[in-house]
Amino acid sequence: MDSGRWRRRAVSRGMLPLLALHAVNEYYRLPWKPPVTAGLLASNTLIYLRPSFLDSLLPFVDEVWFNPHLILKNKDMKRFFLSVFYHVDESHLVYNMMSLLWKGIQLETSMGSTEFASMVVALLGLSQGISLLLAKSLLVFFDYGRPYYSEYAVGFSGLLFAMKVILNSHSENFTNVHGLIVPARYAAWAELILIQMFVPRVSFLGHLGGILAGILYLKLKGSYSGPNPLTTIIRELTSLLRWPVRFIRNTFRLRRRRILGQGTVGGGERRSLSGTWRCQACTYDNSDWLSNCEMCGTSQSSESGGFSRQVSRRSRDLSLEELRRRRVERFG
**Annotated catalytic, 69?**
no
Give the type of residue at 171.
S
230 Cβ contact partners less than 8 Å away, ≥ 6 residues apart: 118, 121, 122
In angstroms, what CA-CA distances link 160 with 91, 124, 221? 16, 10, 18
Q: Do residues 102 and 22 lie in contact, with contact meaning Cβ atoms separated by under 8 Å?
A: no
100 Cβ contact partners less than 8 Å away, ≥ 6 residues apart: 37, 40, 41, 44, 156, 160, 163
Rounded CA gap, 127 and 169, in Å?
17
Identify the active-site residue in 83, 127, 207, 302. Answer: 207
Task: Check whether the bond before 147 is cis (ω within 30° of 0).
Answer: yes
107 Cβ contact partners less than 8 Å away, ≥ 6 residues apart: 116, 119, 163, 166, 167
Identify the active-site residue in 113, 157, 302, 315. Answer: 157
**Annotated catalytic, 157?**
yes
Within 10 angstroms of residue 85's Cβ, the number of other Cβ atoms is 20
Enumerate the active-site residues.
157, 207
